Amino acid sequence: MLSAVAAFVLAAPAPRSVALLDLTSLKPGAEATLASRQERWDALHAASALQGLVNRKRPELYVLFVGDRARLDQYWLKRLQSTWLKNRTERLASLDDAIRRFRRSVNGVVVWDQRVPATSNVASTIAGVENLLPVRFDPARSSLYWRLTQDPAGPRLPVRRSLMRADGSPLFTGHGTIPDTPLTSTGSAKNDAYLWAAEKYLRVGKCAPGWMGYYPDAFWLSTPREVPLERTLLTNHDFFVAKKGFFFDLGPWEDEAPDDDLKQVPGTDGRTLRRLLHYAYRHNGGRMTHISGFTPWDQKYTDFTGRRRGGVDTEWHYAEVLSCFNAFMDADAPGLHAMANASVYMHEPLRARYPQTNRPSDADLVRRGYLRADGTVVPKRYAAIYAGDYDAAAWLYTVMPEVWDDPARGSVPIGWAFNPVLAERFPTGLAYARETATKNDHFISGDSGAGYLNPGYLEAPRKHSGLPSGLREWERFNAPRFRKWDLTVTGFVIDGYAPPMNDATKAAYARFSPDGVVAQKIPPLSMVSGTPFLRMGSDLPRHNVTEARRLVLASTQGEGVTFSIFRTILWTPKDHREMMDAVRSAEPRIEFVDPHTLTRLAKLAQVEASSQPKRAR
């Protein structure tokens, strides 16, 4: 038996201490057999829910799991212990030990049905709302269900909710009506389960408004597709359990049956998704809804697993749907998407404001040779870097130890696109960046501001929802976050499949992002209410300096003054320095600057151009 799910041991809680639960023993061989997957899933699922319940008011339980030998969790724990979380730590012997220690936080269990994998997510929703542990039904004496609810030596937790009928048959069948609701069945047990949960918890306001988690359900148990246990994203649940959020896992397409529910009427998943978002919109009073997670392309819904559409197409379609409902992504995209302990990090004591002191003045630009004394821009080929894509707390959590701690950081100017909304789940990372930034580290927002959506669908017509404009709510959401983190440049607006930003949307961005906005579906350089709008340049491939140099050189042609900004994804400062050196050796007229310098020079150049008398034809 795994140490993380060993027999119960009495443990007296120590006051003002933080308990450490090491779950790394769950990893070896976790994917090998159905039995091993069930055992490890059950333990990790329950542990994450327990953590969310325990840490709701204060940080008391920290788990070690993500990264090789929990390297990432260890890294960030060290950071916490060196700053604000100086409580004494105690190691727990097992998950069962943790449950006994924090029994006061648990009202019982909610039992879910493996025959309907979606009920695992429904159980996570119920767990947060009713302070329960989610447990897969399994009467075997070795199962977590038996040990928690039946074992005479265990805690004998009461079953408060069961997502099965009393006779053991499935509660959700895809036939007739959805139990205890006025709704007719969708013909899909999966969708019936989510609609039942929406009726019972989301529509009536039992979930907290504004919080949803798009995380894979238990389809992995039957179809693991070589996805390791860590990438089930069960460790990401703790924050949304703490917040009483709503969990779901649905394909966004309206004309295709997903590979986890091939017998459904094509598009049923997509229709259910829209109903959930309607409920969330109403429950949240039209304010912005924070949805963490991403289309799980490594497990379902894309051509990677045999469906018709690619991963980017599916992502962009999902983004446009969310945008029509005043919802945005905190985009834990597959590959770097496992994160633990957000329910601990959310308690980081942040300062009221984090000013940037390295934003250049016009006098600085004159000294650096970019601006003449008369205010005209010196003709050069100016280029800047948007270092992304940090629009997901999990990505920042995962790559920051490598990228931010690179000894080369500070040697070249970089625009770090850390979305301010990451302060909800990972304020620790944002605070660490600000406290250790060099003069060459500049902070801008990532896509598309405080969260990832398509601004072109904030204004009517909003084809997926028919709702009125959400632009005012988006501006209200962004403005205080931009002020707190002293952000004045939006580094990249992802337009995707949405219409281009209209005049009203551009004007809103100019108000909360006054120094500059970079987007896709706009002219190369324009001005809106005194704010420069620039078109994003090429994405530069990592680990291919030759190709990156070619793309930069090809995009910075022209006489006089030019302005370009390029997107890199997960590059280290060393990567950037090597690329910049290669470019400058080929074309000395290219000047790499920080994004604040780029947008300021672009604005001055536009003002200068507009003041020139027009030539007669």
Spell out the domains of the chain, with CATH numbers in brackets: 3-345 (no CATH), 383-609 (3.20.20.490)
- Give which of 276, 306, 249, 283 is closest to 116, Cα–Cα: 249
- Give which of 559, 565, 551 is closest to 601, Cα–Cα: 565
Q: What is the pLDDT of residue 613?
A: 57
If you ran DSSP here, which 8-state letter would residue 577 be given? H
Long-range Cβ contact pairs of 175-183 (< 8 A, separation 24 or more): none
- Residues contacting 111, CB < 8 A, separation 6+: 123, 135, 136, 137, 145, 159, 161, 162, 163, 164
Q: How far apart are CA 303 and CA 215, in angstroms?
A: 19
How many CA atoms within 13 Å lie on the side-chain side of 172?
Answer: 27
Which two tokens mark 113? 């049905």
pLDDT digit string (tens) for 131-190? 999 999 999 999 999 999 999 999 999 999 999 999 999 999 999 999 999 999 999 999
- Give which of 203, 239, 265 is closest to 346, Cα–Cα: 239
Q: Do residues 462 and 435 make contact, with C-beta atoms less than 8 angstroms apart?
A: no
Q: How far apart are CA 376 and CA 268, in angstroms?
A: 59
Which two tokens mark 439? 């003069």
Q: How far apart are CA 161 and CA 110, in angstroms?
A: 5
Three-state SS letters, 167-190: CCCECCCCCCECCCCCCECCCCHH
Q: What is the pLDDT of residue 557?
A: 82
Report the C-alpha dihedral over residues 500, 503, 506, 512, rounded to 10 degrees. -150
- Strand pairing class (211-214; 246-248): parallel
Q: What is the pLDDT of residue 612?
A: 67
Q: What is the pLDDT of residue 559?
A: 78
One DSSP character per residue, 188-237 reads -HHHHHHHHHIIIIITTT-SPTTEEEE---THHHH--TT--GGGG-GGGH
Cis preceding linkage at 334, omega within 30: no
pLDDT digit string (tens) for 115-135? 999 999 999 999 999 999 999
Q: How far apart are CA 120 and CA 135, in angstroms?
A: 8
Q: Which H/E stretch holds residue 160?
A: strand 159-162
What beta strand segments (E) does 487-614 contain? 489-493, 516-519, 525-528, 531-535, 562-569, 590-592
CB-CB neighbours of 435 under 10 Å: 10
Please state at what angle helix 119-130 crosses helix 34-54, rounded to 10 degrees. Answer: 20
| 605 backbone φψ class: left, alpha, beta (φ>0; ψ -120 to 50) | alpha
Q: Is 168 exposed, middle or buried (0-12, 13-18, 19+ CB in 10 A)?
A: exposed
Block means of pLDDT (10 residues each) for the chain, length 617 residues? Answer: 34 62 97 98 98 97 97 98 93 96 97 98 98 98 97 96 97 97 97 98 97 98 96 98 98 96 97 98 98 96 95 97 98 93 98 97 97 95 96 96 97 98 98 98 96 97 97 98 98 96 98 97 96 96 94 88 96 97 95 98 89 51
Q: What is the pLDDT of residue 560?
A: 86
